[in-house]
């Protein structure tokens, strides 16, 4: 069972939620999950699009109060 790490990237204009996710994925183990909080609605589409491209696993996308929670599991 992997661990779950949270990135609170709400209001992060640069480097932004996806770049933070990419950087953090390099630091965790296969099977670990990363939960990204983003206030940019674009994250709800561009993070899943990228996760599909590189064949990690999208655990879920949830609309919260004023932000999106996107959970990704490192698959390789």
Partner 1 sequence: MAKKILIVGGGLSGTIVANGLCRQLRGELSSGSVSITMLGASDTHMYQPGLLYVPFGKIRESELFREQRKVLDRRVPYFVDPAKHIDVENKVVTTQSGKTHSYDYLVIATGSRIRPENIPGMVEGGHWFYDLDGARKLRDALAQFQGGKIVINVNAPHKCPVAPLEIVFMLRDFLIGKGLLDKSEITYTYPIGRLHALEPVANWAVPEFQRHGIKSETFFNTKSVDPQAKTITSEEGVTLPYDLLITIPPHSGQQVITDSNLGAGGWVPTVKNTLLREGSDNVFIVGDTTNIPISKAGSTAHFEADTVVDNLVSLLKEDRWARDYDGKVFCFVETGFNTGTYVWFNYTTPPNPGPPSQMIHWFKLAYNRLYWLSARGLL
Q: According to CB under 8 A, which residues from 35 to 64 bind partner 1?
A: 42, 46, 49-50, 53-54
Q: Number of residues in contact with partner 1, rule: CB under 8 A?
A: 24
CB of 67 to partner 1, least distance (A): 13
Contacts of 13-18 with C-beta under 8 Å, sequence gap 24+, read: 16/40, 16/43, 17/43, 17/47, 17/70, 18/43, 18/46, 18/47, 18/50
Question: Strand 68-73 relative to strand 57-63: parallel, antiparallel, unpaired?
Answer: antiparallel
Of 27 and 30, the one with the shorter C-beta distance to partner 1 is 27
Q: Which residues bind partner 1 (CB under 8 A)?
A: 7-9, 11-20, 22-23, 26-28, 42, 46, 49-50, 53-54
């Amino acid at each position: 069972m992997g661990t779950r790490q949270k990135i609170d990237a709400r209001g992060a204009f640069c480097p932004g939620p996806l770049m933070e996710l990419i950087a953090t994925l390099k630091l965790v183990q296969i099977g670990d999950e990363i939960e990204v909080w983003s206030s940019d609605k674009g994250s709800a589409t561009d993070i899943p699009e990228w996760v599909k491209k590189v064949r990690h696993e999208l655990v879920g996308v949830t609309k919260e109060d004023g932000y999106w929670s996107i959970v990704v599991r490192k698959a390789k």
